[in-house]
């Protein structure tokens, strides 16, 4: 236990980032979620795999739109899709210790897109150092849709890769139906996959100021089976100070228990040697 803690401290000094792949359909609220995780109101900066900053906007967008008599936003959107690369790294200034990779999801049914994601995961899994590897995958699924799960979504969870909240005015019956739909159309189908998701989080509208991603942070930490990697994640995230305190206390207790178990006999002898002389001294006095 104590060795794991020492290993985690050493790892933290070498591995400065926690790397997350975010998968989800268009308009699934991925960027909004990441802003909430990193406590940011600004969009992330985008860097190439080599660390070179990528600019998605150019002064030619509006000129091109004017020549083609198109809406500039349409042209910019097209340009963004052209530069949308899963290899690129999304980093927020507010918390640069997180590195995110964004996949467009599989709503188009494109086999090419699916294969790109598989290849990316396989390449990262074969990284020589922990900092190069993926540490977590967040798969975002919108629940307010008439297509709950696509075949590509189900197929993803058969690969070995080792929601919208209800309105406040919703009555109990509506909330119950929403929970049933979540269970029947999302949780149960994915639970039967070869490699089901470690956990799920039903998120409220992340655009709301009062919304929180604490549950996502906590469940991600609990899903990490490697103690060293878990401590790295806990130290990187900045949303939940109580989680940091909790794991710090647990780590301290584990260290004390480890040393107590290792030297329990010596401690018992030491305790006896200090108590016995006092009792004898009292009887002779």
Record the tokens describing residue 210, joined without a space. Answer: 């009062």
Domain 17-49+87-225's class? alpha beta
Which pLDDT does position 151 carry in this prediction? 78
Phi, psi torsion values for 175, nearest 5 degrees: -65, -40
Spatial distance between the Cα atoms of 204 and 56, rounded to a whole number of angstroms: 29
CA 236 from centroid of its chain's CA atoms = 11
Q: What is the pLDDT along the chain (285 residues), one digit of tens a residue?
A: 555 566 666 766 777 888 999 988 777 788 888 998 898 989 999 999 888 998 754 433 433 444 444 444 433 443 344 346 899 999 999 999 899 999 876 665 566 778 888 889 988 888 878 888 899 999 888 777 777 777 778 778 887 766 333 334 434 555 666 677 777 777 777 777 888 888 877 776 666 665 667 778 778 877 877 777 777 776 676 555 555 556 555 655 555 444 444 444 444 444 444 344 444 444 444
> What is the model's pLDDT at position 266?
41
Query: Which candidate, 34, 130, 226, 200, places its Cα nearest to that of 234?
Result: 226
Packing angle of the helix pair 227-236, 241-262 (nearest 10 deg)? 150
Q: What is the pTM of this model?
A: 0.56
Q: How far apart are CA 115 and CA 88, in angstroms?
A: 17
Provide the Cα torsion 168, 174, 180, 184; round to 10°: -100
Structural domain spans, the chain? 17-49+87-225
Cα-Cα-Cα-Cα torsion 177, 209, 206, 144, nearest 10 degrees, comes to: 30
């Amino acid at each position: 236990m104590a060795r794991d803690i020492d290993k985690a401290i050493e790892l933290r000094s070498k591995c400065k980032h926690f790397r997350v792949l975010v998968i989800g359909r268009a308009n699934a609220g991925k960027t909004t979620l990441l802003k909430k995780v990193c406590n940011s109101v600004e969009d992330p900066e985008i860097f190439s795999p080599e660390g070179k900053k990528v600019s998605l906007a150019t002064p030619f967008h509006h000129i091109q739109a004017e020549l083609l008599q198109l809406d500039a936003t349409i042209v910019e959107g097209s340009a963004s899709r052209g530069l949308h690369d899963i290899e690129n790294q999304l980093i927020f200034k507010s918390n640069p210790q997180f590195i995110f990779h964004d996949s467009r999801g599989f709503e188009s049914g494109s086999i090419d897109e699916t294969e790109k994601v598989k290849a990316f995961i396989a390449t990262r899994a074969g990284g020589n150092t922990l900092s190069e590897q993926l540490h977590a995958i967040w798969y975002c699924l919108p629940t307010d849709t008439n297509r709950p799960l696509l075949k590509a979504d189900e197929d993803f969870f058969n690969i070995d890769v080792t929601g919208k909240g209800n309105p406040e005015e919703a009555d109990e019956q509506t909330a119950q139906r929403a929970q049933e739909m979540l269970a029947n159309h999302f949780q149960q189908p994915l639970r039967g996959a070869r490699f089901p998701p470690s956990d799920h989080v039903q998120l409220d509208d992340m655009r709301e100021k009062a919304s929180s991603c604490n549950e996502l942070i906590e469940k991600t930490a609990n899903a990490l089976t490697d103690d060293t990697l878990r401590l790295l994640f806990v130290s990187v995230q900045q949303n939940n100070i109580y989680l940091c305190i909790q794991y710090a206390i647990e780590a301290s207790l584990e260290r004390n228990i480890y040393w107590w178990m290792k030297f329990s006999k010596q401690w018992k002898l030491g305790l006896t040697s200090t108590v016995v002389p006092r009792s004898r001294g009292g009887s002779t006095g």
